[in-house]
């Protein structure tokens, strides 16, 4: 099914970034989330972003 909401090249380019695997995965996961949940309220988005960011920070110990 054609999908004009996300260009596969974005995913390819994120995967090619010179960043940690975890950071790239975080970006991709949140893109996936945006793709599947296109009509949530702002609070729901913030909640989900915060949850995933907190998990990332917790697992990495340092954001940077």
Partner 1 sequence: MVGTNLRFKELHIQNFRPYEDVKIEFSQDPKKTITIFEGTNSAGKTSIMNAIHWCLYGEEQFLNEGEGKPIPNQRALNRTKVGQTTETSVKLVISDDKGPKYQIKRMLHATRNNDSKEKKNDNDAGGQIDSGFTTTISIIFSDRNPNGSWDTTDDEARFKAKVNKFLPQTISEFVIFNGEMLDTFFRSENAEKIRTGIERVSGLPVTDRSIQHWNDMFRQYSKKAAHASGASASLLEEKLETKSKKLDEKKREIAVFKRNLDELNEHQKQLEIEIEKHPIKAFELLQEQLESEKRHQKEYDDVVLKLKKSRVDYIIDNFGRILLYDSIGYAYDILKESEIKGETPPPVMDFFLEDILKKNECMCGTKLKGNQEAIDALISLKERVANSKIAQIANEGKETLVNMKELPVSQIIREKLDLLRKDENRYSAAFREAKEKVNGTIEKLQEYDEKKIRQIATSLDKIRQKRSDVIDELEINNSQILAIESEITDLKKELKGATETTSASKQWNQKRNLAEKAHSTLNQVREKLLSEIRERVQQKTEEIFKKLITRHWQVDRIEIDENYKIRVIDKEEVDNLKTLAAGQTLYLALSYIAALREVTDTNYPMIIDSPFGRIAGLERVRAAEDLPSYLPETQITFLVTNTEYKARVAQDLSSEKHIPSIKETLQKNKRIWKEFELVIDKITEESSRTLVKEITV
Residues whose CB is less than 8 angstroms from the CB of residue 38 and which lie 6 or more positions away in sequence, other chains included: 5
Among 21, 41, 59, 62, binds partner 1 (CB under 8 A): 62
41 binds partner 1 (CB under 8 A): no
Q: Which long-range contacts (CB under 8 A, 24 or more apart) does 48-56 make?
A: 52/26, 53/26, 56/22, 56/23, 56/26
59 binds partner 1 (CB under 8 A): no
Q: From the CB of 21, what's the least distance to partner 1, in Å?
A: 14
Q: Name which of 21 and 64 has its Cβ closer to partner 1.
A: 64
């Amino acid at each position: 099914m054609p999908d004009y909401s996300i260009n596969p090249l974005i995913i390819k380019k994120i995967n090619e970034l010179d960043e940690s695997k975890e950071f790239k995965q975080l970006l991709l996961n949140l893109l996936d989330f945006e793709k599947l949940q296109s009509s949530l309220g702002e609070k729901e988005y913030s909640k989900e972003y915060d949850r995933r960011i907190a998990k990332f920070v917790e697992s990495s110990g340092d954001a940077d």
